[in-house]
Amino acid sequence: MATNILLQYKRDGEAYTGIFYLNDSIDLAFSREPFATMMTSLHRYLTVHADAVVQLQRAESDKFMPIYMEPNMIELLRTDPAKYIQAHTIPHRTVDLRKEGRTSKLAEKHVVPMPTIRAGHDTLAAAFGDMVYLSYRGNRVENPVTGRWCTISELERTTDLKVLEVIQQDNGGWVVVSMEQLLKYEDPYRDGYFLPRAWNDYGLWISKQALQKKYEQYQKDKVQCLATATPETH
């Protein structure tokens, strides 16, 4: 049976942060590594698992689905990583968003899309607060404890989290749970949470200590904000 390798990654400045999965289990997490280092790690996996099936998934958005790496590219990376890395390394360049389009040596002329504005629940998901928004797609939710996709019933059964709301959208949606309840969950094998949200400055994962500290500061700020906003009585 072939080994399934999933490389889930996102840009982190000029570097990359992500996770390697082996047969749906987290095997290696990395942070702020150059493209060459990230692909060298994948090369090492391929030297051990020569029959592996490789999927690549960008983690900047929950809308990005995994894509299969072509067999000839897998073989090139396994046998000649330097050549693969050189062929897939694009020089840094400046893009002027004021122009209607741009020309690349690697692609035909195309329009650079302007950033879209989040609205509604997407805005709430990107903000830190009393509720945690978990990605929901294909009737499966991203488990904040394991980082794997599971059913809602499995999430509630294995983590003791109670789902407060399920938000269906055109391209997936969100599952809402309590931040306080999440922090109460104890796992003897893990000391962190998979929460790739915009508020998570640590990347894909955040330690329980860091999340607890952030939540305590949020509670203090909320109390202070409410006190300031309360009108004086005369």
Answer with the residue of higher pLDDT: 233 or 61.
61
Per cent of the chain over pLDDT 90 is: 24
Choose among 190, 191, 187, 193: nearest CA to 205: 193
Query: What's the rounded mean pLDDT across residues 190-213?
Result: 86
Q: Which two tokens stand for residue 3?
A: 């080994």
Phi/psi for 33 (5° steps) reads -105, 145
Rounded to two decimals, the pTM is 0.50
Question: Beta 149-150 vs 140-142: how paired, if at all?
Answer: antiparallel
The DSSP result for 60-107, as a single string, is S-TTPPPEEPPHHHHHHHHH-HHHHHHHTPPPP----TTSS-EEETTE
Block residue for tokens 């509720």: 131
What does the alpha-carbon distance between residue 82 and residue 120 come to, in Å, rounded to a whole number?
Answer: 45
Mean per-residue pLDDT, 187-199: 82
Residue partners of 146: CB distance under 8 A and separation at least 6: 26, 190, 194
Structure tokens at 166: 């399920």
Mean pLDDT, range 59-79, rounded to an integer: 84
In the chain, where the domains are located? 4-87, 121-229
Using a 10 angstrom Cβ sphere, with 0-12 exposed, 13-18 middle and 19 or more buried, the burial of residue 147 is buried
pLDDT above 70: percentage of residues in the chain: 81
pLDDT band at 234 (very low <50, low <70, confident <90, very high): very low
Name the nearest CA neighbour of 143 among 130, 126, 129, 158.
158
Q: What is the phi/psi pair of residue 57, to 5°?
A: -140, 120
- pLDDT for the residue numbered 86: 79
